[in-house]
Amino acid sequence: MLSFSIFIIAFIMDGILSNFLPFLPEDLSYFTPLLTLTSILLVYPLYRKKEKNYFITIIILGMLYDLFYTNLLFLNAILFFICGLVVKFFYKNFGYSFIKIIFITILIITIYESLTAFIILIFNLVPISLFRLVYKIAHSLLLNVIFALSSYCLIKALPKKYKKISIN
């Protein structure tokens, strides 16, 4: 239940923040939200024994993200799945700690934005350059790292009985 709460809070905050912060290509806020993406890495430890459910959940979350925020059906579902695979690999090989949360948040945002830019470049949807990609990544990091670290601290502070996942 905790994982769904994190997903719902991040999903709603993405919508609220994106309405109030500037989102023009040359005028991005340093608080550009990708909180739903960040929540993918936060909840993985809660799905320790149920990885199949984890991937199903993030694919559904990606489709909802597409439906509500981007109107590019299946794009974010695929990108969230790829990011979920990276998160799984990272946690299996390196573990879960305060510093590693910062690193994986930066890594996931960079991978997500790079893959999105690559797809935009392939289909020639909008003009994109390396400068724009770096600019967008740099402006997405601050808020998302703060969200990841604060959520990590909250999850760590909760009693173990709330950290168990109950998906049937």
pLDDT tens figures, 17-59:
877 776 665 666 677 788 999 999 999 988 878 889 999 999 9
11, 65 in Cβ contact below 8 A? yes
Six token digits for residue 150: 């604060």
- Domain ranges for the chain: 2-163
The whole-number pLDDT of residue 24 equals 60
77 CB-contact burial (10 Å; exposed 0-12 / middle 13-18 / buried 19+): buried
Helix (H) or strand (E) holding 138: helix 130-157
Does the global pTM surpass 0.75? yes
pLDDT tens figures, 54-95:
999 999 999 999 998 887 788 999 999 999 999 999 998 988
